Amino acid sequence: MRKTTTLFTIFFLMLSIASFAQKKNKKNAEPAPTTQKAKKGPFKDYKEIVTSEAITDEGLFTIHKVGEKSYYEVPFELLNDDMLLVSRISKLAAGLGGGYTTAGSKSNEQVVRWSRVQNSIHLRSISFRNVAADSLPIHLSVEANNYDPILATFKIEAFNPDSTAALIEVTDLFLSDIPALSGLSTSMRKQYQVRNLDKSRSFISRMASYPENVEVRHDMTYNAAAPPSNGRAGTISMEMSQSMYLLPEQPMQPRLYDQRVGWFTIRQIDYGSEALKSDEKTYIRRWRLEPKDPEAYARGELVEPVKPIVYYLDPATPQKWRKYFRQGIEDWQVAFEAAGFKNAIIAKDAPTPEEDPDWSPEDARYSTVRYVATTTRNAMGPSVSDPRSGEIIESDIVWYHNHLRSYRNRYLLETGAANPSARTLNTPDEEIGEMMRRVISHEIGHAIGLPHNMKASYAYPTDSLRSATFTQKWGLAATIMDYTRYNYVAQPGDEGVRWVRMLGPYDNYAVNWGYRYIPNANSPEEEKPILNSWIAEKAGDPMYLFGGSNSFDPSSQTESVGDDPVKASTYGLANLKIVAPNLAAWTATEGEGYGDLEELYGELIGVWSRYANHVVTNIGGVYEEFKTTDQDGVTYTPTPKAEQVESMNFLNENVFTTPEWLLQKEILSNIEPSGAVSAVKSLQSRILNNVLRMDRLERMIENEALNGNEAYSMTQMMADLRKGVWSELSGTQAIDAFRRNLQRAHVERLASLMSQDERSRSDVSAAARAELKSIQTAARAASSKYGAGIVRNHLRDIDALVDSILNAD
């Protein structure tokens, strides 16, 4: 009897183990059978729900619209598979997001999985931030400590006729206020005082299923006390687009990031690493390009990719600009050829409704260049990527209509002195088109994975930008991913120079580094020696350096050109001094007012400010060049003392003196009743405050501590600044209103430095105190030299102001 009982026990135990093994899927998640018999009880008959009135569409999921209800058939074979859910705003209220949120803006992207738990289907948001191979014991701990949130649960209503899918109603998924699917961020809800979603005014407008994705459009209406437009309605309405895209079962092999070559990245913390810690791994974001003919590719022949990158032009794009948009996209073909691929990136017109009635720019299968009707001046190149591998799935370039105005204005201001065709508000279409082409190329660069590289402009000698031969061959910077928009260095008489940026040698280098197919490397680690060798080949060549914009590196400045900020800004300022007195004539339109003149004059001041701040960065500057331990040299090198002194002299002579060239009476008397004095004060004060930034002064203190007399010391810089700002006190020169404002700003900034340094009481506060005492002494002595009047009053006020600051301290 015992033997029989034991045999039965073993038999049933084996059956239980076998049953569990069959149900356990590849991800160790909930049971996911491929078929499921319909059962009576909690489930309805399929035909009770999917009636003859149902509107059905088959694809990744079979979807149904039955009256006001919407249903998905979730296939059991797709349970626990990774899907990318991308939420976009397809239509929005005017002004929502301050102008930078537009139709097509992505509000969220997340990986989701559908799973079955008893009689319900769950939708979870999945993170790949913390990972470990599922073959390792620590995988259990990673799962337990990174439990993925449930976005929604659905009752299984029925099973499809062959019992391979569960039928669920998804109406509430799209008509409930689920933050992960919403177009309203937390800050927007606060700003617009959103109370709640009004379900009675929300609805699903479109559902479509395709072989690899499901697309849904749904209108969401919110009650809001302070909507961005149509305030009396107390309402914000928007149309959302939800794209659910099946990710590849086998992720693309990632490529490890190297900070010496710029790429957008994804990051994972690998707890299964052999390192004696959780190992943070960073992978680049890139499209999956694989050669159609691997053997020909291996021989060095140009080969088409299995799946090229295709961008569709928005049907809203004006016809006359389309050829420039296509050129901007396909300009990158040359860079992909450097990586061994031909026809790797292609531009196409979007199909007409007659050609494809289901085509939509929000469809996750299509990458588009969107043309957005908004007053915002900008363009963007975002993309959507697989967080498991960094594979870019799709992207949408956004061109804002009014960006044309920005480029026209900058073209006039920065090149007008030497470029006659720029001296007009009606820039020729061909030249505007060329600018648009290059903006699209820049944004496509982002969309294929490249961030800004502000070090690329520093690769070219400043004087070379005055050469037609050089600029027509090499452009204005080593990459189009720099913010080197125009050649403001070229002077009148420099014939044939290039005015507008273009792709450069770094672009070919970076695309080859990121996209070249390495067939014999079966892991990211196996690729690394080859990738390192490509960097080593270019070591020491400034054309192939990478640097993002920062506040301390003179060679990584936004909007700069050339390798000498002082020389470039000197050239730029010389050009502005030609533009300023001609600005009124170049912007005059018969029968129109002075709105354009006012706009361009304001931008002219901004251009001058940029030139000045490029020079400021030399002071206390530190060059940053990323290196690995096997390379010669150091990562951080202070700017040479002579360059810092030269920069301080430039500022004293060209920025802190009164800019009389800027004070054009013909302009000022037509655009404002007053304001020039305060505008110049604001500009000079900002630049002065930048010179006396705390972090800059701290770098100068450290440089002096490490390098002694080779460094430009903080105290010497402060003394040189004081001599420039207060130069009138050495004699009896007049001190005009602009200089008086600047001198007050100088005292106020020194007082601010003492306040900022109050706790640490470092050399900064000591130097600021000494400078204030020197200013007070000089002002007190000089005040008696001036007769009664505003200058004497000013100097006595400075004396009293310094007294109050020092006594308060």
Candidate from 371-375, 424-428, 497-501, 747-751 with smallest mean pLDDT: 371-375
Burial track 438-453 (b if 16+ CB lie within 10 A, e otherwise): bbbbbbbbbbbbbbbb
Averaged pLDDT score across all residues of the chain: 89
Choice between 333 and 126, residue whose per-residue pLDDT is larger: 333
Query: What was the pLDDT predicted at 12?
Result: 40
Task: Indicate the Cα dihedral angle 495, 499, 501, 503, nearest 10°.
Answer: -30
Residue 169 Cα distances to 66, 150, 151, 213, 626, angstroms: 10, 17, 15, 18, 54
The two beta strands, 55-57 and 62-66, are antiparallel
Higher pLDDT, 402 or 329: 329
HSE of 92 in the Cβ direction (CA atoms, 13 Å)? 28
Pairing of strands 392-400, 379-380: antiparallel
Q: Looking at the predicted structure, is the pLDDT value of residue 674 above 90?
A: no
Q: Mean pLDDT throughout 553-557?
A: 95
Residue that is written with structure tokens 């102008």 in the block = 99
- pLDDT reported for residue 507: 98
Which of 200-204, 364-368, 371-375, 663-667 is the least confident region?
Answer: 371-375
Quick: pLDDT tens for 712-735. Answer: 999 999 999 999 999 999 887 889
How many angstroms separate the CA atoms of 248 and 307, rounded? 14
pLDDT surpassing 80 at residue 776: yes
State mean pLDDT over 364-369.
Answer: 86
Q: Express as a percent the part of the chain with pLDDT over 90.
A: 71
Rg (alpha carbons) of the chain, rounded to whole number: 32
In the structure, what pLDDT confidence band is assigned to residue 267 with cuts at 50, 70 and 90? confident
pLDDT tens digits for 497-533?
999 999 999 999 999 999 999 998 999 999 999 999 9
75-79, 334-338, 340-344, 753-757: least confident range: 753-757
Q: Indicate the pairing of strand 165-169 with strand 150-159.
A: antiparallel
Partner residues linked to 125 by β-bridges: 112
Residue-wise pLDDT for 393-403, tens only, equals 988 888 776 67
Q: Tokens representing 283? A: 């992978």
Whether residue 277 has pLDDT greater than 60: no
Residue 1 scores a pLDDT above 70: no
Question: Read out DSSP for 663-722?
Answer: --HHHHHHH-SS-HHHHHHHHHHHHHHHHT-HHHHHHHHHHHHHHGGGS--HHHHHHHHH
More confident residue, 121 or 760: 121
Rounded (10°) angle between helices 595-616 and 403-415? 70
Mean pLDDT of the 363-383 span: 75
CA distance 622 to 634: 12
Q: Is the pLDDT of residue 40 over 60?
A: no
pLDDT of residue 22: 39
Q: Are 371 and 319 in contact (CB under 8 A)?
A: no
Q: Are strands 345-349 and 309-313 parallel, antiparallel or unpaired?
A: parallel
Measured between alpha carbons, how far is 491 from 477 in angstroms, rounded to an integer?
18
Q: Is the pLDDT of residue 7 over 50?
A: no
The pLDDT value given to residue 364: 75
Residue 307 to residue 344: CA distance in whole angstroms: 8
pLDDT of residue 273: 66
Instruction: Quickly tell me which residue has 């509107």 as its tokens.
Output: 55
Q: What pLDDT is recorded for position 136? A: 67
Q: Is the pLDDT of residue 50 over 90?
A: yes
Judge contact between 564 and 291, C-beta under 8 A: no
pLDDT at 361: 78
Distance CA 746, CA 742 (A): 6
Instruction: Single out the residue of 265, 310, 340 nearest to residue 517, CA to CA.
Output: 340
3-state secondary structure 643-677: HHHHHHHHHHHHCCCCCHHHCCHHHHHHHCCCCHH
Would you state the pLDDT for residue 18?
Answer: 41
pLDDT-derived band of residue 185, with 50, 70 and 90 as boundaries?
Answer: confident
Whether the per-residue pLDDT at 34 is higher than 60: the answer is no
**Predicted pLDDT at 16:** 42
On whether the CB atoms of residues 415 and 578 are closer than 8 A, the answer is no
Per-residue pLDDT band for 175 (boundaries 50, 70, 90) equals: very high
Does position 537 have pLDDT exceeding 80, yes or no? yes
Half-sphere exposure of 179 (CA within 13 A, CB side): 8
Question: Is the dihedral angle over the CA atoms 79, 84, 90, 95 positive or is it negative?
Answer: positive
User: Which comes out higher in pLDDT, residue 24 or 255?
Assistant: 255
Alpha-carbon span 60 to 730, nearest angstrom: 82
Q: What residue type is 730 in one-letter code? A: S
Arithmetic mean of pLDDT, 330-340: 98
pLDDT category at 24 given cuts 50, 70, 90 is: very low
With bands split at pLDDT 50, 70 and 90, how would you rate the model's confidence at 54?
very high
Which runs of E-coded beta strand occur in 420-469?
none
578 contacts 492 by C-beta, under 8 angstroms = yes
Report whether pLDDT(569) > 90.
Answer: yes
Using CA atoms, how far apart are residues 523 and 389, in angstroms rounded to an integer? Answer: 12
> Does residue 655 surpass a pLDDT of 60?
yes
Average pLDDT over every residue of 434-445 = 94
Mean pLDDT of 333-345: 98
DSSP string, 529-577: HHHHHHHHHTTT-GGG------SS-TTS-TT--SS-HHHHHHHHHHHHH
Distances in Å between the Cα of 410 and the Cα atoms of 161, 404, 670 are 65, 10, 22
Supply the pTM of this predicted model: 0.86
Q: How confident is the model at residue 104 (pLDDT cuts 50, 70, 90)?
A: low
Q: What is the pLDDT of residues 440-496, one digit of tens each?
A: 999 999 999 999 999 999 999 999 999 999 999 999 999 999 999 999 999 999 999
Least confidently predicted of 25-34, 36-45, 109-118: 25-34
Q: From CA 637, how far away is CA 56, in angstroms rounded?
A: 66
**pLDDT confidence of residue 6:** 42
The domain limits of the chain are 29-246, 294-563, 607-808
Handedness of CA 750, 753, 759, 763 (dihedral sign): negative
Cβ neighbours of 378 (radius 10 Å)? 16
